[in-house]
Structure 1
Amino acid sequence: MNTYLHRILCALIFSFLIVSGCTSSKNTTSDKRTPPPSSSSDGMKAYSSVITKEAKTDEGLFDVHWVKDKLYYEIPDSLLNREMLLVSRLAQVPTDYFGFFSAGSKTAEQVITFERQNDKILIRKQSYNAVAADTLPVYKSVKANNFAPVIAAFPIETMGEDSTTMVIEMTDFFTSDTEAISGAIGFLRQQYQVRRLDGNRSYIESAKSFPQNIEVRHVLTYNAGNPPSDEQTATLSMMMSQSMVLLPKEPMRPRYEDYRVGWFTVNQIDYGSDAQKAEEKSYIRRWRLEPKDPEAYARGELVEPVKPIVYYLDPATPTKYVPYIKQGVEDWNEAFEEAGFKNAVIAKEAPSPEEDPDWSPEDIRYSTVRWVASTIRNAVGPSVSDPRTGEIIESDIVWYHNHMRSYRNRLMIETGAANPAARKLKLDDDLIGETMRRVISHEIGHAIGLPHNMQSSSAYPVDSLRSGNFTQEYGIATTIMEYARQNYIAQPGDENIRFIRKIGPYDKYSVNWGYRVIPDAETPEDEKPVLDQWILDKADDPIYRFASSTGYDPSSQTEDLSNDPVQASTYGLMNLKRVVPNLIEWTSTPGEGYDDLEEIYGELIGQWARYAGHVSTNIGGVYQSRKSSDQEGVLYTPVPKDYQREAIGFLNEHVFSTPDWLLDKEILRRIEHAGALERVKNLQSRMLNDVMGADVMIRLNEAHTFDGDDAYAPLEMLEDLRRGVWSEIYEMTSIDPYRRNLQRVYLDNIENLFNTDEIRSFRGNVDVKNSDIRAFLRVELGLLQNDLERAQTRISDGLTRAHIEDALIRIDDILDAES
């Protein structure tokens, strides 16, 4: 063949390949086409040979077909590339499955899309961590640098009869070990020594399709070397629930978060913003509440939402507690009224199988309050949200049965001195019911978007919590989202006291800030000036402050009450001292032993530690204020010197002294043969570690650098601490075993600071070696050494003299090692 003819033939072949390629590409799009009735135009099986007459079909978002033991999805081409939220939950778990992974617990939440690639359908996991408007050039880079992983691929078995749908088999996706949707997540596989999934013992139980979602339940059975229960079976089985819901084509308008008002958020890096950086944008997580009557709403009238937030109670809920759970859900209506909505939150009992055979607590169409038969002592309030906008789609509150035990114990410990109703093991239904109600309210708060606000309790004056009128109207903290559970400040004789938390003024403020519709705003940017003004209007009132716990701010602590931690802990300690002598009587049950006494006594010691911790945080403490840059004033202010001294005084008097009130022989000889010495040492050690922490001394030193004599200098703090911990050598008295333990811990702490060059703290590592810390400690050791030598010649008690001799040797060893 000559060169000319060869070139023409090659060109013709090349052109044919191009045309063929274009034709093939066109067949992969969602354009409608009509294949012959008996077979597909591209070699696929005929529809009737895959979806046979025996098929059981459930119509909905995708038509779901059961053909014998195979599950098929029929996907409309109009839903290709549409974002869907896939939520994986544990529907049933084996006995003693790990921690909070109980029935109803979420194990994965991911946005997926179904995409066609030639003759396959891919499931891809989409991310909204990085975004840009698709009209901008940078959008191409965002896509290129955030390539969506393919978590599954399926051959297209056949095309629908009108060629607008594609059929894929999903059986293996649910019966194989697909880690993206499994309940045996990473660390649990290691803990239970999961080896492999047994396909013969794994199966799909049900698959149902609804207009906006598909619900699948399937059993996964693993071979496991160390299963949580039934070890002899070497088996781990669980029932999984997979909920796939279509996300709105028109997303809800998001609302920007502001760190001065606490909200859970979804966060994105917006590469399309005008900021000269990769700008992070955060939107609050909230339900889509829209007024039924916008005109009335704009006039300031209360109106119902188009779609209220509805929670269904688990049918497993004990009947006598149902009213309290319902009240706990609907308590939030008073806060939503502040935002202009009435009947915004509704609690319903779940329909019976006769009323709705399709109802399931795992169905993503329903938000639920689950009652879990578990020994876990907690409750949680997770939710599922659209990562594009923060719109909450569904949530499931989980109440663990044994959480009643926590509140039974703590009501006795914290309020028993002033509240006669709390002085028994079996509380009246009204009291435990009221407590449960407020726990549910707290968890619903999480589920509507609110995080913990640990600064709220510090807004109330300490003595206000001893006022019946005040506590009944305002509660014991400004928000139910604080870990301020019981009123431990009220004293015997205080009248009409509210002992349990409730919805407070901050809750109404934050719900209004997050949910009130701003009629004139058309974009999130339009809302910002209004939202900012709402914050500024309340900026000078401590009731409306928000902060999370930091470890250094005594106004933002967990489990605390009031604006005066020293006085509050004094009141709390006074009540503990009243409770201890009564514990045997309050916890005794005829015919039974002392297990309850041992448990509650142990938790009472933990409560004493909390009170001490609330005070110790003031040493080197720094108050935080959340402000924007256009507000006056600084954000961080050291705790005043006099108050820090007062805190050290409390610790020396009530924490580092021997707690004779706690060492009740009648109790201890009923619950143990020994242990009191070690128990007290451990508690006092924790407090001493807190006060002598490297980060504490760094903050003290910095405050002294800035403020001079107005600040509590590190050497002043160390002197006050030394004179408290070693008070016997200044008073020339004997040192008891508890105090000897404490003093040895004091020296151990100093030795550790000499031997450790870098110590990790709450806000990062502290470079001890190159700081002033060791210089301060050398001064203290020198002073203590002189004081011990002087006391050694004046104290006659033999054990005390031996202890002093040992302490002097330890000091020499520390200083010698350092030199």
Structure 2
Amino acid sequence: MRKSILLLLLLPLFTTAQKLPSIEEKTNGLKKYEGYFNFYWDENTGKVWLEVDKLETEFLYVVSLPAGLGSNDIGLDRGLLGEDRVVKFNKVGRKILLIQPNYSYRALSNDAAEKRAVEQAFAQTTVWGFTTEAESNGKFLVDATDFLMRDAMKVSNSIRRMRQGNYVLDKTRSAMYLARTKNFPLNSELEVTVTYTNSDGEVGNFVQSVAPSTEAITLRIHHSLVQLPDNNYKPRLFDPRSSFIPVSFYDYASPVSDPIEKQYIIRHRLKKKDPSAAKSEAVKPIIYYLDNGTPEPIRSALLDGGKWWNQAFEAAGYTNAFDVRILPDSADPMDIRYNMINWVHRSTRGWSYGASVVDPRTGEIIKGQVSLGSLRVRQDYLIFSGLLSPYETGIPANDKMLQAALARLRQLSAHEIGHTIGLMHNYAASVSNRASVMDYPHPTIRVNAAGEMDFSSVYDDKIGDWDKVAVTWGYRDFPAGTNEKTALNTIITEANKKGLQFISDRDARAPGGLHPQAHLWDNGANAADELKEVMKVRSKALQQFGEKNIVPGMPMAMLEDALVPVYFYHRYQIEAATKLVGGMYYNYALRGDGQLITKMLSKEEQRKALNAIVDCIDPKVLMIPDRIAALIPPRPSGYGSSRELFRKRTGLSFDQLSPAETGADLPFSFLFNSERLSRMVQQEVNGGLGVAEMIQVLIDKTWKAPRRTGMEALIQQQTEQVLLTYLLAASVDENNSFLVRAVLQKALSDLKKQIDLQLKTATGITAGHLQLALERMKNPKDAKPTLHKEAPPGAPIGCEE
């Protein structure tokens, strides 16, 4: 009996220890894909078997989205890259783990113990666990099906985060996508069709607008297993003046006197065939491929703009080192070997962007991936149509709108490729004769001496001078014996002497913008001067606006679509001008490099900008003429409203006051930013423009200005209430300093005295207007700025509402 019990206890051990089948036996009859990692397709079970023959060997693992959702707001675009990771297989018994080492923390040392101490101090990630099912000669076969069919792109999270539904992966409706499953010597590419089902029935509008049925969403996820580059690439240290994007990590082997955080720039590998030559061909040129689904004439425009970068590489000492070609029909755009420019369709217009697959160990770019939103060109066409009023009898033979839109696409192609070769935005380029395609360019249009719109220089047609400097700094291959640090510093300092600047995102996008020469979608060496030029274009466009802004046969209500971008044509230049108020010049200066560090704008510069801004809130400027309003009826059946139109308080009829309210709100929202006000209080003691003086200028232009009549009177009173909203809210905003709030309290007290005096003789709606203001002054905490009718999107619609 005891022997029987012992046998039963040992039986599981004998079973576990049984010899596994060979890989040849296990995969007999299956389709084999030979390449970097061999894998096998089982038609009967729908499984993929992966052959692991490289243990403890690091490789690159990248996931991407070759077939997207089509909603810009949710952001799951075709061509979207997921996280790129360095990983390795680790075997423990029959278990094979896919491990991601932690390259954010390292020890750049030859001492194995020192390196091990850092590795053990910080967590790694186990991406997946497999079980060995067959073995042959040091190779191990695992079932990779569940690994491939998981939610590797976090689609469920993206949809849930936008409150569009509780979608979860349904494996019963998911399968391999064999048409895009391939294998190559240096990379294995596997693709799956994945379906997500809605578990609670509630679905948001973004999903409803793109999915054929909201019960399920089917997308595709692509997995790339890629051999890492060799060790012959030399990283280049990051310089904050260079405009290159860094990768950073902590090096715990650094001497105590050195910074522990290290940064390399990201860039493609590029070497001269002859480093000693002033100009040389590259050992391997950088080639980008344009989506072969891109139509003409867009295709040619994108090719032309992308090829501009060869001008920069020529300046860096290379010959024919950069090119853009059409993707061959036989190539897979998700193949890690191809730098891609994707033409991406969405249900709404949205951002274009450039991303890269980067080796986090060194910063070397493995693959550039550009996504260009196809609907943006239509918005540009609409803007130019609104400015030109071109439709006398239909689309003119000389289609200026199309030519301008294509010029914009050339610049867009160059811009997004620029990110994928390693470059940040440069928003200070517009003040230096369009020195960089990495700026966001507003169309440069003028009203000429004949009073006509001049489109002769709407966008640039070449790479910029700063771009040549940046590529030279990042990619120049120096001859042996060169002191690289000195040579790189010389490139930057010489550029600065020529007046070329680099200021990037944080400085340009901050709501309380500080740098007077860094802004998105602006033009001109001086923002205030350019604002006056932009207002001339806007005025001319409104003067000629009418039936000819839409083609014959189109509903008259569609005039509103063309009117919106014309009315708000100045929106970005006015924001740029506000940065001169309380602004400060500065650079990303290093100690000893000779650059300007900081310099406050003079009071005269700030006053000039403020005066240009207040001119834009004149009731005559804010008013949409009666003749235009009379041309826009309610939208007909079959034509819905959208966020691209003016917000209304008047129901179906056109609202003349709402656009004017938004037009006044825009400059106030920037001028009354708490950071700006706090700076102005401090700058005033050093001769700068103070908050009290700014408020007095605004009150003189509004509450103390001569009274208007008709619709202009209504707009004047509305603007005064909008200004009062900002004064009240700022006076009790604890983000403002005590001194700022003190100045505002005094201004409100003075304004109340003025309103009390005016009310003694006021009648009708004017009396009501003044009484409303006094009533609102009793409860300043109830004032909510920027709750007025918001402007429709100007820039491409982002991922958040």
Q: Structure 1 length normalisation: TM-score?
A: 0.82
Q: Is 1:636 aligned with 2:592?
A: no
Q: Is 1:508 aligned with 2:462?
A: no
**What CA distance in whole angstroms lies between the structure 2 residues aligned with 1:654 and 1:423?**
33
SS of 1:659 mapped into structure 2: helix
Contact 2:515-2:583 within 8 A present in 1 as well? yes
The letter for the 2-side match of 1:721 is L
Q: Which structure has the larger Rg? A: 1
Q: Identity, % of aligned pairs? A: 23
Gaps of 5+ in 1: 1-38, 461-476, 760-765
The letter for the 2-side match of 1:403 is R
Corresponding residue number in structure 2 for 1:457:
430
**What CA distance in whole angstroms lies between the structure 2 residues aligned with 1:450 and 1:626?**
16
Which of 302, 314, 322 pairs up with 1:325?
A: 302
**What CA distance in whole angstroms lies between the structure 2 residues aligned with 1:415 and 1:380?**
29
Q: Is 1:173 aligned with 2:130?
A: no
C-alpha distance after superposition, 1:312-366 (max 9, x if no partner): 22221114433222212211111100111121122222223xxx4xx21111111
Which of 695, 716, 721 pairs up with 1:744?
A: 721
Seen in structure 2, the aligned counterparts of structure 1 residues 586 and 624 have a Cα distance that, compared at 3 Å, is farther
C-alpha distance after superposition, 1:741-781 (max 9, x if no partner): 12122222222234432x3xxxxxx4x4xx21221112212
Contact 2:404-2:459 within 8 A present in 1 as well? no
SS of 1:267 mapped into structure 2: strand
C-alpha distance after superposition, 1:162-203 (max 9, x if no partner): x1322222122123xx34455444454774434543222211
Q: Is 1:478 aligned with 2:435?
A: yes
Q: Is 1:491 aligned with 2:430?
A: no
Q: How many residues align?
A: 725
Corresponding residue number in structure 1 for 2:56:
81
Q: Is 1:584 aligned with 2:552?
A: no
Which of 728, 740, 746 pairs up with 1:779?
A: 746
Corresponding residue number in structure 1 for 2:649:
none
C-alpha distance after superposition, 1:526-578 (max 9, x if no partner): 63222112212222332244443142222101111112111101011101111
Q: Is 1:237 aligned with 2:237?
A: no
**What CA distance in whole angstroms lies between the structure 2 residues aligned with 1:595 and 1:112?**
57
Seen in structure 2, the aligned counterparts of structure 1 residues 674 and 598 have a Cα distance that, compared at 3 Å, is closer
Which of 172, 179, 184 pairs up with 1:200?
A: 172
Corresponding residue number in structure 1 for 2:34:
59
Contact 1:652-1:725 within 8 A present in 2 as well? no
Q: Is 1:211 aligned with 2:185?
A: yes
**What CA distance in whole angstroms lies between the structure 1 residues aligned with 2:750 and 2:289?**
67
Q: What does 1:87-126 align with in structure 2 at a 5 Å threshold?
A: 87-94=62-69, 96=71, 99-126=74-101
Corresponding residue number in structure 2 for 1:299:
277
Q: Structure 2 length normalisation: TM-score?
A: 0.84
Contact 2:731-2:745 within 8 A present in 1 as well? no
Which of 399, 406, 411 pairs up with 2:384?
A: 411
Contact 2:657-2:715 within 8 A present in 1 as well? yes
Larger mean Cα displacement after TM superposition, 372-381 or 549-558? 372-381
Corresponding residue number in structure 2 for 1:336:
313
Q: What does 1:258-407 align with in structure 2 at a 5 Å threshold?
A: 258-276=239-257, 279-292=260-273, 294=274, 297-300=275-278, 302-352=279-329, 356=330, 359-377=331-349, 378-407=351-380
The letter for the 2-side match of 1:203 is A
Corresponding residue number in structure 2 for 1:718:
695
Gaps of 5+ in 2: 1-14, 635-652, 784-801
Q: What does 1:521-670 align with in structure 2 at a 5 Å threshold?
A: 527-548=484-505, 549=508, 550=510, 551-594=513-556, 596-632=558-594, 635-659=597-621, 662-667=624-629, 669-670=631-632
**What CA distance in whole angstroms lies between the structure 1 residues aligned with 2:41 and 2:781?**
79
Contact 1:123-1:152 within 8 A present in 2 as well? yes
Corresponding residue number in structure 1 for 2:647:
none
The letter for the 1-side match of 2:338 is Y
Q: CA deviation at 1:217?
A: 1.0
C-alpha distance after superposition, 1:37-92 (max 9, x if no partner): xx99972223332121x12222211122224333222222xx32222222211122
Contact 1:183-1:238 within 8 A present in 2 as well? no
**What CA distance in whole angstroms lies between the structure 1 residues aligned with 2:291 and 2:211?**
28
SS of 1:615 mapped into structure 2: helix
Which of 685, 688, 693 pairs up with 2:668?
A: 688
SS of 1:156 mapped into structure 2: strand
C-alpha distance after superposition, 1:249-291 (max 9, x if no partner): 4162111121112111211112211144762222111110111
**What CA distance in whole angstroms lies between the structure 1 residues aligned with 2:153 and 2:25?**
30
**What CA distance in whole angstroms lies between the structure 1 residues aligned with 2:218 and 2:252?**
45
Contact 2:222-2:334 within 8 A present in 1 as well? yes
Which of 120, 136, 142 pairs up with 1:144?
A: 120
Contact 2:265-2:363 within 8 A present in 1 as well? yes
Contact 2:445-2:457 within 8 A present in 1 as well? no
The letter for the 1-side match of 2:754 is D
Contact 2:469-2:492 within 8 A present in 1 as well? no
Contact 2:623-2:715 within 8 A present in 1 as well? no
Seen in structure 2, the aligned counterparts of structure 1 residues 618 and 320 have a Cα distance that, compared at 3 Å, is closer
Larger mean Cα displacement after TM superposition, 263-272 or 40-49? 40-49
Which structure features the higher share of helix residues? Answer: 1
Contact 2:344-2:373 within 8 A present in 1 as well? yes
The letter for the 2-side match of 1:516 is R
Larger mean Cα displacement after TM superposition, 92-101 or 303-312? 92-101
**What CA distance in whole angstroms lies between the structure 2 residues aligned with 1:57 and 1:519?**
47
**What CA distance in whole angstroms lies between the structure 2 residues aligned with 1:583 and 1:370?**
36
Q: CA deviation at 1:807?
A: 2.8
**What CA distance in whole angstroms lies between the structure 2 residues aligned with 1:425 and 1:182?**
47
Larger mean Cα displacement after TM superposition, 479-488 or 626-635? 626-635
Seen in structure 2, the aligned counterparts of structure 1 residues 558 and 646 have a Cα distance that, compared at 3 Å, is same
SS of 2:83 mapped into structure 1: strand
**What CA distance in whole angstroms lies between the structure 1 residues aligned with 2:771 and 2:72?**
53
Seen in structure 2, the aligned counterparts of structure 1 residues 443 and 415 have a Cα distance that, compared at 3 Å, is farther
**What CA distance in whole angstroms lies between the structure 2 residues aligned with 1:341 and 1:654?**
49
C-alpha distance after superposition, 1:680-710 (max 9, x if no partner): 11221232132223222210111123x1xx2
Higher RCO (Cα < 8 Å, 6 or more apart): 2
Corresponding residue number in structure 2 for 1:29:
none
**What CA distance in whole angstroms lies between the structure 2 residues aligned with 1:422 and 1:547?**
39
Larger mean Cα displacement after TM superposition, 40-49 or 596-605? 40-49
The letter for the 2-side match of 1:675 is D
SS of 1:150 mapped into structure 2: strand
Seen in structure 2, the aligned counterparts of structure 1 residues 426 and 634 have a Cα distance that, compared at 3 Å, is closer
**What CA distance in whole angstroms lies between the structure 1 residues aligned with 2:530 and 2:782?**
44
Corresponding residue number in structure 1 for 2:679:
699
Seen in structure 2, the aligned counterparts of structure 1 residues 49 and 559 have a Cα distance that, compared at 3 Å, is same
